[in-house]
Amino acid sequence: KNVSTFVICYPATQPVSSAAYCVDLTTGRTSVLPGDTPEVMWTKRPTSTGGRCSLQGVLKITPPCWAKSVSFHMNFEKSRLYSFNIGDSPTNNGWAGDSGSTRQDAEIHSYNEYLKVFRSDVGGSSCLTSNQNTVKTAMLIRLSKMQMYATNYEGFDYYKQDRGLFAFDTMYMGLNRVVSYIYGSSSRTGRGLCSVCIYFLKDSVRDLHQRYGGTRHGSFGTGPMPRP
């Protein structure tokens, strides 16, 4: 006999936001250590390629049951090539998809100072937006189910709802690299991401956008994280 398991989130226990899970990619140090928490874990621990802001690793992010959005606060020094990659699939490797591994494979990544957003197979695997001169010194990306918001705190603000965006289940983040190398993408690395802090909110991207608008939406919660 199969027995279903249910996870119940009691309203009284739901926080406004979680603690931030932070990684310093100049030293490899972490706070609220990924690997010791069920929400943020390493799938590839940081390795050094030499030079400042060049440590590379991969995180697995699983939102807690009460969360409706996840925020990524990033600091950069001269983003080069693939300084970050956030994907729905463990085999995301940049440029729209994961070679057919899954249908839920929306992804966002940098390419030098470009910010590129690609729909999943569900949404047609097309490029949703490509913005140059965007990945500069800091960036916030906030994701909910089929919703996203991004700002660089220097005039770029992007809000979108689209069926091809993230399923908001388990997500992955490549740090100074793409998420996966398994389809011949081992050359898709980068440098320039110096730190990232990840935290969860009980409000969706759409709710926050309706409540606060563009600029204030970007500063809601913990605000820009300090540079390492």
Predicted pLDDT of residue 28: 84
CATH of the domain at 51: 2.60.120
Quote the pLDDT of residue 101. 76
CA 79 to chain centre: 16
How many structural domains comprise the chain? 1
Cβ burial, residue 16 (10 Å; 0-12/13-18/19+): exposed
- Report yes or no on 10 lying in a domain: no
Spatial separation of the C-alpha atoms in residues 102 and 104, rounded to whole Å: 5
C-alpha to C-alpha distances, 222 to 73, 94, 185, nearest whole angstrom: 9, 29, 34
pLDDT at 193: 97
DSSP structure class, residue 122: G
Residue 73 lies in a domain: yes
Among candidate residues 113, 120, 116, 156, the one with its CA nearest the CA of residue 136: 113
Q: What is the pLDDT of residue 13?
A: 54
pLDDT of residue 202: 92
Q: For the chain, how many helices (H) and strands (E)?
A: 1, 14
Domain range for 154 is: 20-219
**Whole-angstrom Cα distance, residue 20 to residue 94?**
26
Report if residue 2 sits inside a domain.
no
In a domain, 12, yes or no: no
Q: Is residue 82 part of a domain?
A: yes
Question: Could you list the mean pLDDT of each consecutive 10-residue stretch along the chain, which spans 228 residues?
Answer: 53 64 90 78 88 94 94 96 96 82 91 97 92 96 97 95 96 96 83 95 93 60 42
d(C-alpha 93, C-alpha 87), whole Å: 8
**Cα distance between residue 201 and residue 16, in whole Å:** 6
Distance CA 81, CA 113 (A): 8
Q: Does residue 67 belong to any structural domain of this protein?
A: yes
- For residue 31, the model assigns a pLDDT of 84
In a domain, 28, yes or no: yes
- Asked if residue 228 is part of any domain, the answer here is no
Cβ 173 vs Cβ 42: under 8 Å = no
